Amino acid sequence: MSHTAPQRQSKAVSAVRNIAVSFSGHLDDGELLTGTPTISDTASPSPEVLTFSNPVVSTAALTINGISVPAGEAVQFSVSGGVADGEYTIKIAAATDATPQQTLIGRVVLSVDAD
């Protein structure tokens, strides 16, 4: 399972941006995300010029794109760095509490602007 989040995030080169991505529509009934998600960038201008910190599964309800997302159904993290005028696809891998365990993959697009 892989999906790209409908929101497009943006930040300035020197800014730190908090991002939250919902997996609600991709979890089975009663299933929740668990563990520590893995975050990486997968697109131009060059890979791994972004820095990611604090990847967590949500522990409280969040509002993402105007929709309430229950605890345990979203991934949150911070991102810094990037090259001005760059566009990055950020890949999020998160495990679930299903038996057997699943790993879901999501993506979100981030544009980086000059300061």
- Rounded to the nearest angstrom, the gap between the alpha carbon of residue 90 and the centroid of all alpha carbons in its chain is 7
Contact yes or no for 108/84 (Cβ under 8 A): no
Residues 6+ away with beta carbon under 8 Å from 104: 1, 2, 23, 26, 27, 33, 93, 94, 95, 96
Residue 102's φ and ψ, nearest 5 degrees, are -110, 160
Q: What is the pLDDT along the chain (115 residues), one digit of tens a residue?
A: 467 777 788 999 999 999 999 999 899 999 999 999 999 987 555 555 899 999 999 999 999 989 999 999 999 999 999 989 988 999 999 999 999 999 999 999 999 999 8
Sign of the torsion angle spanned by Cα atoms 19, 25, 27, 29: positive
CATH code of 2-113, in short, is 2.60.40
